Amino acid sequence: MKNRLVLAPMYRVTDLAFRLICREQGAGLCYSEMVNSEALIRNNKAAQALSLSCKEDRPLAMQVFGARVESMKKAAETLCREHEFDFLDLNLGCPSDNVINQGAGSALLKRPKRIAEIIASWQDFGKPVTAKIRSGQNILHSIKLAKEIERAGASAIALHARPVRQKNKGLVDFVAIKRVKKAVGIPVIGNGGVKSQVDFERMVEKTGCDAVMVGTAAIGNPGIFAEILGKKPIFREQAFLRYLELSHKFGVDSYFGRMKTQAVKFFEKDKEKMQLFQKTKTLEELTLVATLKKQ
């Protein structure tokens, strides 16, 4: 990694085109959004598209969610055979009902034995395995879990220091990150609430974490990485035009719903354009709105 700045995995956000702009803005490591293991092994077109990368998109952690060891192993096998990336990452934090009802994401936090089995089953593919967890009911639970993950063979842990019930908002437990970092020998990536250079420095100083993961603050705003590094960030409007260009190059733009959701986020400070984006029905209309000059 060229620095300690990490783009978080974010469903419907961190596609290949988006990651490339975050890298241009300075992100040292990017995560893919979570990919469904069952969909991957069914060769689902959308799941395959989510796993796309390219040689500029490195280092890349490919994140997978699922609950069944056999499916997770097959999914990892498929990914390693068909895609280019550096780390296989296990999602242990998703709070969405849809994922929890499958026994995956944060539902697995209560099943350390299953976690260890999945991580062990991923050791055969020649790629480092990482896991992204959340802080639990108490710090001791997080420490115990992190140690078990390390023992199972993981090479790094990202800790989103908020409990599941908080989803992605509210207070972040720096002490949990600090204690987990002290308890394990593998790198720990701290995550939660970093929106500026000051937040970044505070996270490193208060927790001693090895790297810092940025989520929400990057949505519609890849320039946050340049900002944190003390460099001049790309304007949001310009960043969206770059997103359109890269999406076209890599076929991300064949998913119009995604393009529209991304557009709204990039332009959330321009209410007029945001409303226009919401009315668009085609990529041409969306591009037209993006390039409209202000009167």
- H-state helical runs in 94-138: 97-100, 112-121
Closer residue to ligand FMN, CB minimum distance, 7 or 20 = 7
d(CA 261, CA 256): 9
94 is catalytic: yes
d(CA 207, CA 181): 8
- φ/ψ of 104, rounded to 5, equals -110, -175
Q: Which residue is nearest to ligand FMN (CB)?
A: 215
- φ/ψ of 256, rounded to 5, equals -60, -40
Q: Three-class SS of residue 212?
A: strand
- Smallest distance from ligand FMN to CB 65, Å: 7
Range list of β-strands (E), 102-259: 129-134, 156-160, 188-191, 211-214
Closer residue to ligand FMN, CB minimum distance, 13 or 259 = 13
Closer residue to ligand FMN, CB minimum distance, 87 or 287 = 87
Closer residue to ligand FMN, CB minimum distance, 94 or 276 = 94
- Smallest distance from ligand FMN to CB 231, Å: 20
**Which residues are CB-contacts of 35 (< 8 A; sequence separation ≥ 6)?**
47, 50, 51, 62, 63, 64, 65, 75, 79
* Catalytic entry in 22, 30, 80, 94: 94
- Smallest distance from ligand FMN to CB 199, Å: 9
Closest CA relative to residue 160, chosen from 102, 225, 91, 98: 91
Closer residue to ligand FMN, CB minimum distance, 28 or 193 = 193
- Smallest distance from ligand FMN to CB 292, Å: 26
Q: Are 48 and 25 in contact (CB under 8 A)?
A: no
Closer residue to ligand FMN, CB minimum distance, 177 or 287 = 177
**Interface residues toward ligand FMN, by CB under 6 A:** 8-11, 13, 33-34, 63, 91, 93-94, 132, 160, 168, 191-194, 214-217
Instruction: Give the position of tokens 């390219």.
Output: 54
Cα-based angle 258, 243, 262 (whole degrees, multiple of 5): 30
> Which pair of tokens denotes residue 25?
């803005």
- Smallest distance from ligand FMN to CB 291, Å: 26
- Smallest distance from ligand FMN to CB 250, Å: 19
Active-site residues: which are they?
94
